[in-house]
Amino acid sequence: MANILLVEPDTTLGSVYKQALERAGNTVHWRKTAASAVNALDQLSIDVLILEIQMAVHNGIELLYEIRSYTDWNAVRVVLHTDIRSSRIDDRARRDLGIEQVLYKSDTSLAQLCEAVTASKVI
C-alpha cells in the first residue's frame, strides 16, 4: 500500500485512475495542476508520484525540476503516466529527474498502472 500523489489534469480520467489505485489498496491524493501538486507535496507524506507531463500553465517536467530541487522530496518515487510516447522522453532527463518508469497511457491498462506502483515501491 502506498501514499500516492496522482497529478492528472483530465477530470474523468483522474477519477477513474484514482478509484482503480484505491481499489488496489493505496491512498490516493489527486491534483490537476503543478502548483496544487507542490502544495500537496508540502503537506502530505508521499511515496509515489504518478504524473502526466502535459498540463496547463506548468508542465510535468517543470514540476519535476521543482521537486528535485528540494532534498526533502528526493525520495519521492516518480512514475510518468503520460500521453507522450516514452521514446520522445530524453534518457538524460529520465536519469536527472529520477524517473523510475514511463508508461504510455494508451498502452497501459489500470491493472498495469497498479502493478507499476507496486514495482516502484519495491525498487
* Member of 6, 7, 8, 17 binding another protein (CB under 8 A): 17
Task: Tell whether residue 109 is a contact of another protein (CB under 8 A).
Answer: yes
Note the helical H segments in the chain.
Answer: 11-23, 34-43, 60-68, 91-96, 110-122
Cβ neighbours, 10 Å, residue 46: 20
Taking the least distance from each CB to another protein, the nearer of 37 and 113 is 113
Taking the least distance from each CB to another protein, the nearer of 69 and 109 is 109
Cβ neighbours, 10 Å, residue 72: 9
* Residue 25 Ramachandran class (φ > 0 left, ψ -120 to 50 alpha, else beta): left
Taking the least distance from each CB to another protein, the nearer of 71 and 106 is 106
Applying CB under 8 A, the span of 15-23, 36-44, 95-103, 115-123 interacting with another protein comes to 15-23
Interacting residue ranges for another protein, rule: CB under 8 A: 10, 12-13, 16-17, 19-20, 83, 85, 87, 105-106, 109-111
